[in-house]
Amino acid sequence: MGFLPFALFAICPWIFGNNFGVIAIYFQLAYGSIILSFLGGMAWGWRDDQINQRFNLSMGIVYSLIGCLTLALTFFGFILFSLLILMIAFQSYYYFERSTEDFKKRDDEYKNFRKMLSLLVSISFLLSSAYWINPYSNPLI
């Protein structure tokens, strides 16, 4: 269910365009920033007896700060930059999570689901980036 807003906000600009499309991208960025901050915070709750737990905590803080940074960049109008940062951040978070001991102990269904979900979220940001740089739909032109 958490992916539906990403999909909705990525498709709305292509369907409705104009100001509604821009608003949808702003909401996608805000939602993505919040979710990335939440994912970073989840690393704080992982088991303390993991081999690289100090690194895991540090990376969780980094991803939470990236979420806050993209929210601030969105506020200051750096939309394309924010979209690209979030696209890369969601994929890299999956690779980071995949390297942890807890992830390796999960069942294959969960691993495949996380991989697919991260990829779909990144694709949603890619779709919004394409809308933003498209010369026929670019709201800045």
- Quick one: pLDDT at residue 135? 76
Tell me the average pLDDT of the chain: 90
- Quick one: pLDDT at residue 141? 56
3-class state of residue 116 by DSSP: helix
Q: Find how far residue 70's CA is from the centre of its chain.
A: 10
Q: Which of the 8 DSSP states describes residue 100?
A: S
pTM strictly above 0.85: yes
Query: What are the sequence ranges of the domains in the chain?
Result: 4-133
Q: What digits encode the pLDDT tens for the residues 40-96?
A: 888 777 777 777 778 888 898 999 999 999 999 999 999 999 999 999 999 999 999
Give the relative orientation of helices 108-133 and 79-98 as an angle to the nearest 10 degrees. 170
- Quick one: pLDDT at residue 140? 63
- Quick one: pLDDT at residue 1? 84
- Does position 105 have pLDDT exceeding 90, yes or no? no
Name the pLDDT band for 138 (thresholds 50, 70, 90). Answer: low
Q: What mean pLDDT is predicted for residues 21-40?
A: 94
- Quick one: pLDDT at residue 18? 80
Q: Which of the 8 DSSP states describes residue 89?
A: H
Q: What span, in angstroms and rounded, lies between the C-alpha atoms of 136 and 30?
A: 24
